[in-house]
Structure 1
Amino acid sequence: MVWKNPWYNPAISHHSPGGFTNVTPVTHQPGDKKRWHDERKAAGLPRPPSNGYTGFIEQWWQKAEIAGDSDGLWWLGHSSILLRLQGKYLLTDPVFSRRASPLRFAGPQRRTPPALAIADIPQLDAVLISHNHYDHLDAWTLRALLRRFPEVHFFAPLGLGKWIRRQGARHVSELDWWKNTSFAGMSFTAVPAQHWSMRTLWDRNRSLWCGWVVESAGLRFWFPGDTGYMPELLAIPERLGALDVVALPVGAYAPRWFMAINHMDPQSAVTLWQQLGTPLAFPIHWGVFELADESLDEPVKELQYALSEAADESDNFRILKIGQYLSLR
């Protein structure tokens, strides 16, 4: 039986009868994935960080200390961010498991420990999900969060509501690109990203992927989720207003010939940051899982070099340690 997209609207370009697609159709050629895997295996990639995993943790990890009451955020590693806005706590793409995988014994393993235990989260009002890949949507983590915070509200792109409710969630909002909803005095808008979705062999692109713009008391924060670079990302501030704080993904980019469609590299992140007018920014999607060919510390090295090459006098692009706090006011 052919699956039909229940949200399909022929007037919307990223909708298709069989699921969802990107603004600009992008795809790999037949054989590309095998070529990448063969080259990766032959070269023995990824390699350990330059100072080893222990040295990397000593340099780039710290325990998150939740204190104070002003607006701010803690980068918890990879794409997980704990935001505090107007006294409310929001969590993006939370993954606290040992692996980004459906299996406990196989798949990408966590190379740096969680910067925060679920038991140490003081309050949780909302969770923002960008898409259904295992390094962004983790069943064990969601169930653990729901045991501690049963009334937490989930925001997700189209197609993920049923799955999230099966984990025990009572409050779920599913949004299409450019759709908006309000919660706890804040505005949440799902915005485009260039990526894809797949959680099993049978559900490729049946759920949408997105970024989120959260507006709170005059502050506009953008969490892009996973995205390749595309000029259409600039439509986000054009339609919603200037962005004040942005979390820009910089990892899982090697080899670029294969990864660029779905993941920005540090150079693209710096270019986009400049095009956005150099708002307060920090890099995400690095430092935890080895998902591509670069070593764990290469994204931050390349980012530092790209920022120096940009010769921008602004210090608004802050490279945070995992667990580090960033004030937003």
Structure 2
Amino acid sequence: MRTLLRPGFVALCLALGLTLAGCTSSGDCDSPYAGSPQFKGCLFANPPNPDTPPGAGTWTIWSRFVFASKSGTVPVDAIPVRPLTTAQLEALDPQANHVVRLGHSSHLLKLRGRFWLIDPVFGERVSPFSFAGPKRFHAPPLALQQLPPIEGLILSHDHYDHLDVPTIEYLAQRVQRYFVPLGVKARLIEMGVPAERVQEFDWWQGATHAGVQLTATPSQHFSGRSLTDRNRTLWASWALQIGEQRIFYSGDSGYFGGFKQIGERFGGFDLALMENGAYDAYWPAVHMTPEETVQAFADLRGKVLYSVHNSTFDLAFHPWQDPLNRLADLSAAKGIELATPEIGEVLTVGQPRSNRRWWVGLK
């Protein structure tokens, strides 16, 4: 069949198959992570969640990506981007905490005067190949070379839309400290990051660096970067405490009881960066619908709901505006303070702002 001969077919299976339904491998039980409660049967695993609806099988998902048609998943009009300069970033109040949306789940943070990155992806594609796979809708608001000195870099898991080789290779010696889930350290070392700069965490483990208290918290997802390494590394959400303010980052996750547990343990969050995109009934366990995102936000006891994981890459079958429209409508109906910042927009935690539905009217 001609579809199987398309150059992007293998890349598509690898890039999107990893995000949705990779293969498993028995692995070697002689592992330094064998003591982790999340390490079971020689691989990392999610706790049981009987409330998760059943999903489709691996072949069904892959076949759909290869043969099914899509509609409206890629914007026709330009996504608005606010260009940033190093001078603008340096001018941000060093006594406050700021979050800058770079696109998808990538964020630059200025926390009490020092800069951090979360899941930075500056590459053109989220794929094992530079010539094929999901391509970004817009340029980043600033180039890698324009980034200020980075104090810390936080990773949620090792999928290509969160762990980007060209980005990490450029930043390898330019970041003071990396904070990653169990097993991801080896990935970074392969990309040129000095081993002594990387610290690994199991769920509920934490550290303090440059005035920021970090805790790796649970999420319901999976990991892998090839067809044979599924769940060889752990995935996580993150809780950050900076002075009196708390920020939560969900990473990628399906809805599960862990959100309520996190909310109870930390007593709520001033800002919650919540996954909102790439969901589908075929894979309900690993990504949340907007309705589930709102419920997870309530479980976390959040004050401001900040939408991430959308508007940059085509990773599912829903129209690209769907996560934003549904979340905005739900938030308005429930009286939730919502943040859907434009790419490059700066949000200052605890400061009033006017939210705008920037995507309305775009095709």
TM-score scaled by structure 2?
0.81
Contact 1:157 1:190 in 2 (8 A): yes
What SS does structure 2 have at the residue aligned with 1:207?
coil
Match among 342, 350, 359 for residue 321 of structure 1 = 342
Q: Distance in 2 between matches of 1:228 and 1:29?
A: 12
Amino acid paired to 1:15: F
Contact 1:247 1:281 in 2 (8 A): yes
Total equivalences in the alignment: 315
- Per the TM alignment, residue 249 of structure 1 is displaced from its structure 2 partner at its CA by 0.6
Match among 230, 234, 239 for residue 208 of structure 1 = 234
Residue 320 and residue 194 in structure 1: after superposition, are their counterparts in 2 closer, same or farther (change >3 A)? same
The corresponding residue for 2:19 is none
Match among 229, 253, 262 for residue 279 of structure 2 = 253
Amino acid paired to 1:199: R
Is 1:292 equivalent to 2:312 in the alignment?
no
Q: Distance in 1 between matches of 2:67 and 2:331?
A: 32
The corresponding residue for 2:82 is 62
Contact 2:27 2:43 in 1 (8 A): no
Contact 2:104 2:313 in 1 (8 A): yes
- Per the TM alignment, residue 37 of structure 1 is displaced from its structure 2 partner at its CA by 4.0
Residue 2 and residue 169 in structure 1: after superposition, are their counterparts in 2 closer, same or farther (change >3 A)? closer
Residue 230 and residue 56 in structure 1: after superposition, are their counterparts in 2 closer, same or farther (change >3 A)? farther
Residue 274 and residue 164 in structure 1: after superposition, are their counterparts in 2 closer, same or farther (change >3 A)? same
Contact 1:96 1:141 in 2 (8 A): yes
Contact 1:197 1:208 in 2 (8 A): yes
The corresponding residue for 2:220 is 194
What SS does structure 1 have at the residue aligned with 2:247?
strand
Structure 1 regions of 5+ residues with no counterpart? none
- Match runs of 1:16-55 below 5 Å: 16-24=40-48, 32-40=57-65, 43-49=68-74, 52-53=75-76, 55=77
Give the ranges of 4+ consecutive aligned residues of structure 1 lying more than 4 Å apart after TM superposition.
25-31, 39-43
Deviation larger for 30-39 or 199-208: 30-39
Contact 1:47 1:295 in 2 (8 A): yes
Is 1:165 equivalent to 2:189 in the alignment?
yes
Residue 327 and residue 292 in structure 1: after superposition, are their counterparts in 2 closer, same or farther (change >3 A)? same
Amino acid paired to 1:91: L
Deviation larger for 275-284 or 78-87: 275-284
- Per the TM alignment, residue 38 of structure 1 is displaced from its structure 2 partner at its CA by 3.8
Contact 1:56 1:297 in 2 (8 A): no
The corresponding residue for 2:307 is 283
The corresponding residue for 2:297 is 273
Residue 31 and residue 221 in structure 1: after superposition, are their counterparts in 2 closer, same or farther (change >3 A)? closer
- Per the TM alignment, residue 42 of structure 1 is displaced from its structure 2 partner at its CA by 5.2
Amino acid paired to 2:168: L
Amino acid paired to 2:251: G
Q: Distance in 1 between matches of 2:214 and 2:199?
A: 10
- Per the TM alignment, residue 165 of structure 1 is displaced from its structure 2 partner at its CA by 2.0
Deviation larger for 296-305 or 187-196: 296-305
Amino acid paired to 2:111: L
- Per the TM alignment, residue 306 of structure 1 is displaced from its structure 2 partner at its CA by 2.0
- Per the TM alignment, residue 119 of structure 1 is displaced from its structure 2 partner at its CA by 1.7
Residue 44 and residue 68 in structure 1: after superposition, are their counterparts in 2 closer, same or farther (change >3 A)? same
Residue 46 and residue 194 in structure 1: after superposition, are their counterparts in 2 closer, same or farther (change >3 A)? farther
Contact 1:181 1:188 in 2 (8 A): yes
- Per the TM alignment, residue 146 of structure 1 is displaced from its structure 2 partner at its CA by 2.4
Q: Distance in 2 between matches of 1:29 and 1:269?
A: 18
Q: Distance in 1 between matches of 2:27 and 2:98?
A: 46
- Per the TM alignment, residue 221 of structure 1 is displaced from its structure 2 partner at its CA by 0.8
Q: Deviations over 1:213-258 (max 9, x none)?
A: 111111111111100111221111212332221101100013x2x2
Q: Distance in 2 between matches of 1:89 and 1:62?
A: 19
Residue 105 and residue 191 in structure 1: after superposition, are their counterparts in 2 closer, same or farther (change >3 A)? same
Q: Distance in 2 between matches of 1:225 and 1:116?
A: 22
Amino acid paired to 1:129: L
- Per the TM alignment, residue 324 of structure 1 is displaced from its structure 2 partner at its CA by 0.9
- Per the TM alignment, residue 111 of structure 1 is displaced from its structure 2 partner at its CA by 1.4
- Per the TM alignment, residue 82 of structure 1 is displaced from its structure 2 partner at its CA by 0.7
Q: Distance in 2 between matches of 1:299 and 1:146?
A: 33
Q: Distance in 1 between matches of 2:217 and 2:147?
A: 27
TM-score scaled by structure 1?
0.89
What SS does structure 2 have at the residue aligned with 1:317?
strand
CA RMSD of aligned residues (A): 2.2
Residue 45 and residue 88 in structure 1: after superposition, are their counterparts in 2 closer, same or farther (change >3 A)? same
Residue 296 and residue 35 in structure 1: after superposition, are their counterparts in 2 closer, same or farther (change >3 A)? same
The corresponding residue for 2:360 is none
Q: Deviations over 1:250-277 (max 9, x none)?
A: 00013x2x22210111111112223333
Contact 2:263 2:301 in 1 (8 A): no
Q: Distance in 1 between matches of 2:27 and 2:178?
A: 29
Deviation larger for 234-243 or 203-212: 234-243
What SS does structure 2 have at the residue aligned with 1:130?
coil
- Per the TM alignment, residue 169 of structure 1 is displaced from its structure 2 partner at its CA by 1.9
